[in-house]
Structure 1
Amino acid sequence: SLPSYLQAFVDEHLQHTDSMLVLCGSSVSTMESEVLGHESPLYGRRTGQIDLHPFSFQQARDVIAYDIADAIRSYAVTGGTPMYLTRFDYEQSLAENIQTQILSPTALLYNEPEFLLQTELRNPARYLSILEAVAVGHTTPNEISGATGIDSGPLSKYLQTLRQLRLLNREVPITASGQKSKRSHYRVDDEFLRFWFRYVEPNRSSIEEAPAMVFEGTIEPDLPTHVSTTFEDVCTEAVWELIRSGEFDSYSAVGRWWYGEEEIDIVGLAPADDRLLLAECKWTNEPVSHGLVDDLRSKANSVRWGPSDRSERFALFSRSGFVDGLAEALDDNWSLFDLTDIEYIFNDV
């Protein structure tokens, strides 16, 4: 096998030299079992490893030659995988790119997720159904089981496999104590895969007959809902940049919070001195008004964390800005960011 040949090469030729052998692979299962696993001939010979993740929005922004609004929309479609990013022609509109690079049955990206799963898994059918269920909004184990017809016992194994392959991410509320929380949600852990399983996989037959109709009737009207989730991630990136730059005080953990029907897009925790950051992100056509301020203040009371005299800071992120007078009506404990502000945060790094 190739690992055996590499073992011999390392032992016989590289061991006492200053040379370095770098092995790269896109198949997570192959790299972890054949290269890093205990039974691999190469086990014990590595001097380091990098689990290479897709580009963040900030990193991908150097490639996406759109204005900030369309850049966020585009990132919600391609994600940060370089091959997907570079398939788009940024001199064309996002709509044109989606139709030519994804919705065309001859396009490279049309079948890409299916090929990806076939590379990683022997029998991908059930995994495909799970990813589709999660992408369209079934995010709890019970919801996924109901949507796919897979019993909870086998389902947990499928979910674990998809997590190990970096295809699915398990989230718990940021205030939850450990990963054993029963309030977990799952999310497709790649923007392009989330887009593909939400729009392409369920509409294959229609796409092959009338792709323009699928785009105009299904994708285009629903795309703002899809993008809103990505916008939350972009805003979370912005929060970390604000922390690193010193504009925000430090927080040890930043993530989503939910309990029952209530949810807050971004919550930051600073347990050392009992500080809490609470932020909402709105990807809407209307400017944010005083109602969201009142709503966030109300939801803050439901976050069971820290002492009663904890310090709270608030932030609002909005695609369409804010109504006149809102900024002036709020004290210094509130920070407001529109798309121009968000772009400045990333450009100022």
Structure 2
Amino acid sequence: MTFHDRVDELDALESAFESPGHAFHVVYGRRRVGKSELLKRFCADRPHVYFLAAQEAEERQREKFTERVAAHFDDRVPRVEGWDDAFAYLGEKLTDERLVVVIDEFPYLVEGNDSIPSYLQSFVDEQLSDTESMLVLCGSSVSTMESTVLGHESPLYGRRTGQIDLEPFSFTEAREVIDYDFEDTVRSYAITGGTPMYLLQFDYTQSLATNVREQILTPSAVLYNEPEFLLRTELRNPARYLSILEAIATGHTTPNEIAGATGIDSGPLSKYLQTLRRLRLVDREVPVTASAKQSKRSRYGVADEFLRFWFRFVEPNRSSIHEVPGVVYEGTIEPALPDHVSRTFERVCRETVWEAVRSGVLDPYSEVGRWWYGEDEIDIVGLHSADDRILLAECKWTAEPVGHALVDSLRATADHVRWGTPDRSERFALFSRSGFTDGLRAELGDDWSLFGPEAISTLVSAELSNPDR
């Protein structure tokens, strides 16, 4: 996989290694986000031992780990009876050389022996802490990493010197990879999302339609079966999870709607949704003005843009894709793509708000999210309690310029948002793919900000957002 970006994460790892004393870093995140590539890049010009764990017998894993350590030091492989012996052997060798030791897919080791965190605790306390070396534990099972390494009850709790929760690329970051014009970049991001592996499957010298046909709608392509493979890797019985994700991706976002679409009762459904949230495949959202813990107005969304696309367009049409993939694209996907992209455009606009705040184009806001109540909904609402200031914004991915109708609608809906005092300071913003009707900008007051495609593109450009890159 080609390596892109991750400048901040590389800097953090390099700073930890160069600092005096030992380092113990934890790197975790969803599958396919590039954790292994990040660590390989970090290790490339440093003395290191890189061990990739696998789902195999504990004894064989231990033998392989010891062999990797011995090979680095050109040493004869010692006989070890347990993981305590294996880590003790590593500790002896670290007295002679400053080294980066990476254990990738660490959860696989814990599956084979849940005492390994205790053995590592002894290793960190009694041997690593007296060296200038660095230990990195890496894993794709976020729940395992958070419980067995970072959790309060873990033997390793409090011993890490740093951690990196690696996330998919934001739209701003993904633009460095997606080589299309702004509109097609938004469309492409709505299909691949920000997961590096998915982004890099596309050939950006080809049209977006060609990429979708060849890289997603071709049964032999990597992305065709990727979501199902991902779920089977994480879950023993993924059938119900597949049906839940398809329901959410096709517009059933409340618990009642999901239950109705899947036939799963509310009790079991709650547990399935919790698991999907833990795997970072589903997000739970409440109105930005509500309490996340107390609100009952929750909606669920597929957290990854590619999974949202796949469960909306690929999973329900597999039989047709095998027979007539071109017809599926032209007859099913292409007509519905604007609606699919519109939700992604909202995310891009939300990112634009934060960039506008950072650059001083907009006033500061401490919370930014969606708001809804009954039939009323506003795409973006920003809150700043200290100044009693609220931002109310709409995003339109339409082929026609935005005009007074949206202005009037937003003003009317704003009155229904219960937040702040009656004298709160209100700011408004419109985001439009196709710009605005003639004269609209001049007719609105200073409390309105209009962002057309050029303004959005400029604000979310990597150069502006990350001037040091």
TM range (shorter): over 0.9
C-alpha deviation, 1:56, in angstroms: 0.4
Extract unaligned runs of 5+ from structure 1. none
Amino acid at match of 1:317: F
Q: Percent identity, aligned pairs only?
A: 73
Cα distance in 2 for partners of 1:34, 1:254 equals 33
Residue 76 in 1 paired to residue 190 in 2? yes
Cα distance in 1 for partners of 2:408, 2:450 equals 14
Count how many residue pairs are aligned between Structure 1 and Structure 2.
349
**Contact 1:29-1:120 within 8 A present in 2 as well:** no
In the alignment, what sits opposite 1:194? 308
Amino acid at match of 1:246: G
Q: TM-score, normalised by structure 1?
A: 0.95
SS in 2 for 1:21: strand
In the alignment, what sits opposite 2:129? 15
1:77-99 superposed Cα distances (whole Å, 9 cap, x missing partner): 01001101111110001111111
SS in 1 for 2:401: coil
SS in 2 for 1:306: coil
Residue 258 in 1 paired to residue 360 in 2? no
* Distance 1:267-1:65 versus aligned 2 partners, 3 A rule: same
Aligned residue among 213, 224, 235 for 1:121: 235
Q: Which has the larger radius of gyration?
A: 2
Extract unaligned runs of 5+ from structure 2. 1-57, 59-108, 111-115
Aligned residue among 201, 225, 233 for 1:87: 201
Q: Please show how residues 1-349 of structure 1 align to structure 2 within 5 Å.
A: 1=58, 2-3=109-110, 4=116, 7=120, 10=124, 13-33=127-147, 35-36=149-150, 42=156, 45-347=159-461, 348-349=464-465
| Runs of 4+ displaced beyond 4 Å | 8-13, 33-45
* Distance 1:88-1:59 versus aligned 2 partners, 3 A rule: same
Amino acid at match of 1:114: E
* Distance 1:12-1:109 versus aligned 2 partners, 3 A rule: farther
C-alpha deviation, 1:38, in angstroms: 6.6
1:252-285 superposed Cα distances (whole Å, 9 cap, x missing partner): 1010000101100000011112111000000001
Amino acid at match of 2:458: Y
* Distance 1:14-1:271 versus aligned 2 partners, 3 A rule: same
1:266-312 superposed Cα distances (whole Å, 9 cap, x missing partner): 00011112111000000001110110000000000010111111111
**Contact 1:28-1:120 within 8 A present in 2 as well:** no
Cα distance in 1 for partners of 2:447, 2:146 equals 47
* Distance 1:39-1:120 versus aligned 2 partners, 3 A rule: farther
1:167-203 superposed Cα distances (whole Å, 9 cap, x missing partner): 1000000111342211110000010111111111111
Cα distance in 1 for partners of 2:394, 2:131 equals 55
Q: TM-score, normalised by structure 2?
A: 0.72
* Distance 1:55-1:150 versus aligned 2 partners, 3 A rule: same
Amino acid at match of 2:333: I
* Distance 1:225-1:72 versus aligned 2 partners, 3 A rule: same
Cα distance in 2 for partners of 1:334, 1:39 equals 50
**Contact 1:27-1:119 within 8 A present in 2 as well:** no
Cα distance in 1 for partners of 2:319, 2:412 equals 46
Cα-Cα RMSD:
1.7
Cα distance in 2 for partners of 1:197, 1:340 equals 32
Cα distance in 2 for partners of 1:309, 1:34 equals 49
Amino acid at match of 2:391: L
* Distance 1:240-1:44 versus aligned 2 partners, 3 A rule: closer
